């Protein structure tokens, strides 16, 4: 019986002091499947730098570099970045072709150009990671162009 009294008192002490439009005072997020000591506004969405255009020309290139701006937000909370690459415009698990957890001091990922097909659309997403929380994803879709790589450049950097 005493244990139930302790539980009841503990729950009363943990009760939020006020709720406003889905937010609880004390900066704790309210929602199904969301439990964090940091609010969503504490994890800013990263800023993508490149590629951010509609078309990426990989003609004669060995790599494609994905870059973003240095970490935004509270530096002491940072854990790094979640980088993902998808084939097509959809960001479903079955279209994901690459995933990497990037350290907090790195602001780019370099991938081999032979991962990309001529004429194909790809989407990359990036999230900032804070302890047990993530930002919303920043994303960009782009189409790959590899001019003249069908046969004529096969001896100098084509697919192996």
Of 83, 142, 82, which Cα lies nearest the Cα of 116? 142
Question: Are residues 1 and 79 both part of a single domain?
Answer: no
Residue 78 included in any domain: yes
- Give the pLDDT of residue 152: 41
% of the chain at pLDDT higher than 90: 49
Of 68, 151, 146, 66, which Cα lies nearest the Cα of 114? 146
Residue 83's domain spans which residues? 45-145
- Give the pLDDT of residue 106: 92
Residue 151 included in any domain: no
Q: Are 138 and 45 in contact (CB under 8 A)?
A: yes
Those residues with Cβ within 8 angstroms of residue 61's Cβ, 6 or more apart along the chain or in another chain: 113
Question: Are residues 52 and 14 both part of a single domain?
Answer: no
Looking at the structure of the chain, the number of domains it has is 2
Question: Are residues 102 and 77 both part of a single domain?
Answer: yes
Question: Are residues 61 and 130 both part of a single domain?
Answer: yes
pLDDT at 58 over 80: yes
Question: Are residues 2 and 64 both part of a single domain?
Answer: no
Chain segment 92-139, per-residue pLDDT in tens: 999 999 999 999 889 999 999 999 999 999 999 999 988 778 889 999
Comparing 10 with 132, the larger pLDDT belongs to 132
Question: Are residues 49 and 123 both part of a single domain?
Answer: yes
Residue 160 included in any domain: no
Structure tokens at 44: 């800013």
- Give the pLDDT of residue 21: 34
Question: Are residues 8 and 57 both part of a single domain?
Answer: no
Comparing 80 with 23, the larger pLDDT belongs to 80
Please give the angle made by the CA atoms of 86, 94 and 32, to the nearest 5 degrees: 95
- Give the pLDDT of residue 74: 65
Chain segment 142-160, per-residue pLDDT in tens: 999 998 755 444 333 343 3
Q: Give the span between the Cα atoms of 151 and 101, in whole angstroms.
A: 36
Q: How far apart are the first and last CA of the chain?
A: 72
- Give the pLDDT of residue 7: 59
- Give the pLDDT of residue 53: 84
Q: Give the span between the Cα atoms of 125 and 80, in whole angstroms.
A: 14
Q: Which DSSP string corresponds to the chain? A: -HHHHHHHHHHHHHS-S-EETTEETTTEE-STT---SS-GGGSPPPPEEES-SSEEE-TT-SEEEEEEPPP-S-GGGEEEEEEEEEESS---GGGEEEEEEE-TT--EEEEEGGGS-TT-EEEEEEEEEETTEEPPPEEEEEEEE-TT-SSTTTTTT---
Q: What is the pTM of this model?
A: 0.66
Mean pLDDT of the chain: 75
CATH of the domain at 128: 2.60.40.10
Comparing 148 with 17, the larger pLDDT belongs to 148
């Amino acid at each position: 019986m005493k244990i139930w009294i302790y539980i009841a008192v503990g729950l009363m002490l943990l009760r939020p002091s006020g709720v406003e439009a889905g937010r609880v005072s004390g900066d704790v997020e309210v929602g199904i499947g969301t439990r964090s000591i940091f609010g969503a506004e504490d994890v800013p969405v990263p800023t993508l730098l490149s590629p951010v255009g509609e078309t990426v020309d990989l003609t004669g290139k060995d790599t494609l570099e994905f870059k973003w701006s240095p970490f935004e937000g509270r530096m002491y909370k940072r854990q790094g970045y979640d980088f993902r690459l998808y084939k097509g415009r959809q960001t479903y698990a079955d279209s994901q072709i690459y995933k990497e957890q990037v350290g907090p001091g790195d602001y780019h990922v370099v991938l081999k150009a032979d991962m990309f097909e001529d004429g194909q659309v790809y989407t990359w997403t990036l999230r900032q990671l804070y302890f047990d929380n993530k930002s919303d994803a920043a994303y960009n879709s782009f189409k790959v162009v590899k001019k003249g790589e069908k046969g004529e450049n096969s001896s100098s950097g084509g697919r192996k």
